[in-house]
Amino acid sequence: MGMADPAWGENGIVPFLRAGPPPDRTRVEGWRQWQERRSTFIPAPRLTVEEYAAMSPRRRALHDLHRTATHVNMGLLETPMSAKVTKLMRGRMRNNALNFEPGTRDGLMVSGGGYLGKTETACDAAATFEMLWRDLHRQLLPGPVPGTRDLFVPVAYCRTPVRATPKGLCAAVLDFYGAPLPKTLNGMIRAVRDSLRDHRTTALLLDDITRLRLHREDDQDTLDLVRELMDLNVTLVLIGVDIPRSGLLRSGYPDPRTGQWVFSPVKAGKSYNPSAATQTERRFDLVDLDPFDYDTAEGMTAFIQHLAGIEDRLRLFRARPGMLTEGGMPEYLFRRTRGIVGLLKRLIEDGCTEAIESGAEELTPGLLSAIPINLGNLTDRDPTAGEVPEVPTDVPVPARKPRRKGRNTVYDDRSGSVAGG
């Protein structure tokens, strides 16, 4: 009998299959569900070909399904770029949460191209901070009263509407808490303030912020509202595609002493808040989440280490150490994806599916060359805001060189002199 899969429950139940749609992080219940389950996936066990062949047809089909689930749920692999974002976010959220002085809290802007993992990196950092903050809250304050709703929501996550207006942004924040929507703008603004205060929210993540188009009056008023939210003792984290070129920083300038972006006071006019001109300057730290760089030794090393991390999580029977990291494979993968982690993930996922279905059970440039990177019909992304990257095409497949064991050349003279000369 073949090896039992530890991920299978009694009576053949398959717990790695998800029931229902994925959690909606733009609602407080979905955010908590995602936060609690984001690291609980159990990958498929590593089986030998003999153990796999000894399984019943049903067990083999379930194991193949589990392998596919493993490949599409590899999780967030840290990169040097994401580590920089995570460090800055956690430090800023922690410091602001421990600051009990009145006044504006410095915010953060997480910028980068589409499919670079900005949202996942920011959400993971915020979720880790929330776990710490909830643990401290449980130790210092009494728990929720039975029969009532727990009002403690340290982190809120919202997405900027494609057609941004102050009312639309307020509705996105209020929808996260499940709060009722007042009919007037002033009422909605008061409701947002009350929700942030009553739920003791310390960090507010606004995703897709570069959907704002500052040539539209509604978008200008929405940006004014975003800045005013910084006065509510929350760490405002704005996430968007190529923020420096989006126009959002047009009214700001980088402070050479601190490196922070400083915004002039909002001018009185058609903004919803006519007294905004009396407010203090708003400050944001701008951090970029860049793609991998293959032009330097450090960049190549980081990319190959990332590929090694992916390689370790694959469950292909003919996979071998160096399958993704040796020969011409690293450069080929970089050319296919331009070092964009989201495109790399999609290519590896689809390649593994083809490797399992075809029986190849390994990834090669030849197999991957037949796999298009198809991003599908992305109804939740705005291509005009740069949220969908350009996918490279017509990348040549590197020639496959025969393997042979060469001699050790470590001690060869590389000075260019001729022996005996």
pLDDT over 90, % of the chain? 53
29 lies in some domain? no
Q: Which residue has the higher pLDDT, 84 or 231?
A: 84
- Residues 105 and 89 placed together within one structural domain of the fold: yes
Residue 163 pLDDT grade (very low, low, confident, very high; cuts 50, 70, 90): confident
- Residues 262 and 333 placed together within one structural domain of the fold: no
Write down the pLDDT at residue 233: 86
Chain segment 12-36, per-residue pLDDT in tens: 456 667 767 889 999 999 999 999 9
- Residues 254 and 380 placed together within one structural domain of the fold: no
Lowest mean pLDDT among 46-50, 130-134, 263-267: 263-267
Residue 100 pLDDT grade (very low, low, confident, very high; cuts 50, 70, 90): confident
43 lies in some domain? no
Mean pLDDT across the chain, nearest whole number?
82
Structural domain boundaries, residue 208: 80-288
**For 294-304, what is the mean pLDDT?**
94
41 lies in some domain? no
Backbone angles phi, psi at 192, to 5 degrees: -65, -45
Distance CA 411, CA 409 (A): 6
pLDDT at 134 over 50: yes
**For 342-356, what is the mean pLDDT?**
95
pTM listed for this prediction: 0.81
151 lies in some domain? yes
Tell me which of 288, 304, 338 is where a domain ends.
288
pLDDT at 149 over 70: no
- Residues 269 and 379 placed together within one structural domain of the fold: no
**For 323-352, what is the mean pLDDT?**
95
- Residues 244 and 361 placed together within one structural domain of the fold: no
- Residues 313 and 236 placed together within one structural domain of the fold: no
- Residues 136 and 253 placed together within one structural domain of the fold: yes
412 lies in some domain? no
Distance CA 76, CA 235 (A): 23
Write down the pLDDT at residue 324: 97
Output the CA angle 238-243-246, nearest 5 degrees.
125
Write down the pLDDT at residue 32: 94
Instruction: Judge contact between 166 and 228, C-beta under 8 A.
Output: no
2 lies in some domain? no
- Into how many domains does the chain fold? 2
Q: Which residue has the higher pLDDT, 95 or 232?
A: 95
Q: Which residue has the higher pLDDT, 243 or 44?
A: 44
pLDDT over 70, % of the chain? 77
DSSP string over 195-242:
HHHHTT--EEEEE-GGG--TTSHHHHHHHHHHHHGGGGS-EEEEEEES
Instruction: Judge contact between 281 and 288, C-beta under 8 A.
Output: no
Tell me which of 242, 257, 288 is where a domain ends.
288
- Residues 228 and 318 placed together within one structural domain of the fold: no
Tell me which of 234, 266, 288 is where a domain ends.
288
- Residues 104 and 225 placed together within one structural domain of the fold: yes
pLDDT at 275 over 60: no
- Residues 105 and 254 placed together within one structural domain of the fold: yes
Write down the pLDDT at residue 246: 73
Write down the pLDDT at residue 279: 41
Going 368 to 372 to 378 to 381, the CA torsion angle's sign is: positive
- Residues 96 and 125 placed together within one structural domain of the fold: yes
pLDDT at 368 over 80: yes
Chain segment 382-420, per-residue pLDDT in tens: 665 556 677 877 788 887 665 554 444 433 444 443 333
**For 65-75, what is the mean pLDDT?**
92
Write down the pLDDT at residue 217: 75
Q: Which residue has the higher pLDDT, 151 or 355?
A: 355
72 lies in some domain? no
- Residues 330 and 256 placed together within one structural domain of the fold: no
322 lies in some domain? yes
Write down the pLDDT at residue 15: 62
Closest of 122, 115, 77 to residue 302, by C-alpha: 77
CATH code, domain with 210: 3.40.50.300
